[in-house]
């Protein structure tokens, strides 16, 4: 995996939401983000520098799902199983491997 500071893997550390998004975007070599897309997040200042481009790409591709409030990313919080499942599903939608669903929580 690439994109993490110091090229550290940290197998005993919990995965943050930012880390999960970076892993999906970098692992699939997704492109297309614009830093302006991060303006939708009230907590964008909490996004680590190494994750800015990947989260912008994920936002542009409608991969990000924020529940209960779509304008709070909470990038430093440990990701839940439900959140990672939603991110993976939306990533499958972005690469045309799953059918899009309608949800007010997709950013």
User: What is the tens place of the pLDDT at every residue in 37-71?
Assistant: 999 999 999 999 999 999 999 999 999 999 999 99
How high is the pLDDT of residue 45?
Answer: 98
Q: Residue 78: helix, strand or coil by DSSP? A: strand
Locus of tokens 């709070």: 72
pTM of the model: 0.90
Other beta carbons within 10 angstroms of residue 93's beta carbon come to 17
SS3 75: coil
Cα 50–chain centre separation: 12
Residue 43 main-chain phi, psi, to 5 deg: -110, 30
Q: In the predicted model, what is the mean pLDDT of residues 87-105?
A: 97
- pLDDT level of residue 5 (50, 70, 90 thresholds): low
Residues 80, 97: Cα–Cα separation, whole Å = 23
What DSSP state is assigned to residue 97? S
Q: Where are the domains of the chain?
A: 14-94
């Amino acid at each position: 995996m690439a994109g993490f500071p110091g090229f550290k893997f940290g197998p005993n550390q919990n995965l943050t939401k930012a880390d999960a998004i970076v892993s999906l975007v970098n692992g699939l070599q997704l492109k297309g983000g614009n830093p302006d897309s991060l303006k939708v997040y009230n907590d964008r200042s909490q996004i680590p520098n190494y994750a800015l481009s990947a989260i912008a790409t994920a936002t542009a591709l409608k991969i990000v799902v924020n529940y209960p409030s779509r304008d709070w990313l909470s990038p430093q919080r440990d990701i839940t199983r439900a959140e990672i499942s939603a991110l993976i599903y939306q990533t499958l939608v972005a690469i045309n491997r799953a059918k899009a669903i309608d949800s007010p929580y997709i950013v």
